[in-house]
């Protein structure tokens, strides 16, 4: 078990985005272990009983915590020839150990060089300086947070907070579900500290319901210049068949954008079940269709793209926020095919929508 230094223990949960943050430090430990291994080779290559009168050689042995060195008087002149042979063998063992140590150092340096491209990629990641607030500590929100924390492609830490109304209750529930490592903050604090806001609360069906969600966040001013990833679906009640806004000319995502004109709204994470958001299931070449933004969005789309990839999905951009209408309709189809009491063909929950074929545009690119 590796115990991390106190300087690496953050009060807030640090989420790796890009290449695993701890892997870089684990590599440092690996290099040290390789050097220690070379020392072990040296120690085990020595004879079990050794009489030596060379001060430097004894000092080298004293440096090892695993061997005790005792000075013994030199034997008689009659056995001095044998002593010379033993010393010769010891020098040979030392030379072999030094060679092994040099190999370990070279191997460690090569490993370090191999990490440089990964470090450069992490430094250039759109998430390298971002913090993420997930509003809603339920199953979807906490699962997305855990998957980001487990992202294998990050080296730099990105703060991930769960924003909740009932902080103590949410924290207790997460602890009960084995997710106690997540940091829970009041919604206002989480929004104030974040650059990216992922909305995982129950969706509102009517315009007034969506406006009420915005008001609960503090209104447009509270989310000014934030990037909002809307993972909600504007479903009607269960008695009404869990339908999206068929009678409206706008999707829930579009209404949300109208309510927060100073923020940039994207729709994502709404077209599949939470089961596929769990690593490693989300890494099975699962497409995540998303939409939002417009021209000149100052890299917001690249940030959303990176968040989706950090959860483990293949991001597939389909267009501006108007296409939230289509994604929400797809979500209704998925829900009706997953819940037995609804009229859709029962397909279960272990499936998702994806793109196949020869696409004219690479939808996995971060920039338009």
Q: Please report whether residue 304 resides in a domain.
A: yes
pLDDT band at 102, cuts 50/70/90? low
Among residues 103, 120, 137, the one where a domain terminates is 120
Average pLDDT over residues 231-244: 94
Whether 68 is in a domain gets the answer yes
Supply the pTM of this predicted model. Answer: 0.69
pLDDT of 3 higher than 50: no
Which letter does DSSP use for residue 76 in this model?
-
46/72 same-domain check: yes
pLDDT per position as a tens digit, 12-38? 333 333 333 333 333 444 444 444 455
Rounded-to-integer distance, Cα 285 and Cα 119, Å: 24
Rounded Cα gap, residues 183 and 242, in angstroms = 32
Residue 185 and residue 273 share a domain: yes
Whether 214 and 110 map to the same domain: the answer is no
* 109 shares its domain with 136: no
The residue written with tokens 């077209």 in the block is: 271
Q: What is the residue range of 211's domain?
A: 125-338
* 170-211 pLDDT tens trace: 999 999 999 999 999 999 999 999 999 999 999 999 999 999
Q: Take residue 328 and report the two structure tokens written for it.
A: 């929400």
Task: Note whether 316 and 284 are within 8 A (CB).
Answer: no
| pLDDT digit string, tens, across residues 314-349 | 999 999 999 999 999 999 999 999 999 898 899 999
Beta strands in the chain (DSSP E): 14-19, 132-135, 153-164, 183-186, 196-199, 227-230, 264-267, 287-292, 314-317
**Cβ–Cβ < 8 Å for 323, 256:** no
């Amino acid at each position: 078990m590796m115990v991390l230094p106190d300087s690496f223990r953050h009060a807030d949960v640090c989420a790796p985005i890009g290449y695993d943050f701890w892997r870089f430090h684990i590599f440092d430990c690996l290099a040290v272990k390789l050097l220690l291994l070379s020392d072990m080779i040296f120690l085990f290559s020595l004879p079990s009983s050794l009489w030596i009168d060379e001060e430097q050689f004894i000092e080298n042995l004293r440096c090892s915590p695993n061997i005790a060195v005792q000075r013994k008087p030199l034997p008689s002149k009659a056995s001095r020839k044998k002593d010379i042979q033993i010393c010769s063998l010891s020098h040979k063992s030392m030379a072999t150990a030094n060679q092994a140590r040099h190999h370990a150092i070279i191997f460690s340096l090569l490993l370090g060089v191999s990490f440089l491209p990964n470090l450069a990629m992490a430094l250039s990641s759109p998430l390298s300086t971002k913090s993420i607030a997930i509003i809603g500590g339920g199953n979807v929100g906490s699962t997305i947070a855990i998957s980001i924390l487990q992202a294998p492609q990050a080296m730099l830490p990105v703060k991930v907070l769960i924003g909740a109304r009932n902080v103590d209750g949410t924290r207790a529930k997460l602890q009960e579900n084995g997710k106690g490592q997540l940091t829970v903050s009041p919604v206002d604090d989480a929004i104030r500290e974040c650059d990216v806001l992922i909305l995982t609360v129950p969706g509102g069906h009517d315009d007034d319901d969506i406006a009420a969600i915005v008001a609960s966040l503090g209104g447009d001013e509270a989310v000014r210049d934030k990037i909002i990833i809307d993972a909600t679906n504007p479903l009607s009640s269960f008695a009404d068949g869990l339908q999206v806004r068929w009678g409206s000319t706008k999707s829930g995502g579009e209404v949300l954008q109208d309510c927060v004109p100073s923020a940039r709204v994207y729709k994502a994470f709404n077209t599949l079940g939470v089961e596929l958001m769990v690593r490693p299931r989300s890494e099975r070449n699962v497409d995540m269709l998303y939409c939002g933004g417009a021209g000149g969005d100052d890299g917001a789309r690249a940030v959303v793209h990176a968040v989706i990839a950090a959860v483990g999905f293949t991001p597939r951009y389909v267009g501006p926020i108007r296409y939230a209408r289509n994604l929400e309709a797809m979500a209704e189809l998925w829900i009706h095919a997953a819940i037995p009491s609804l009229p859709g063909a029962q397909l279960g929950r272990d499936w998702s929508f994806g793109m196949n074929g020869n696409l004219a545009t690479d939808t996995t690119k971060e920039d338009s």
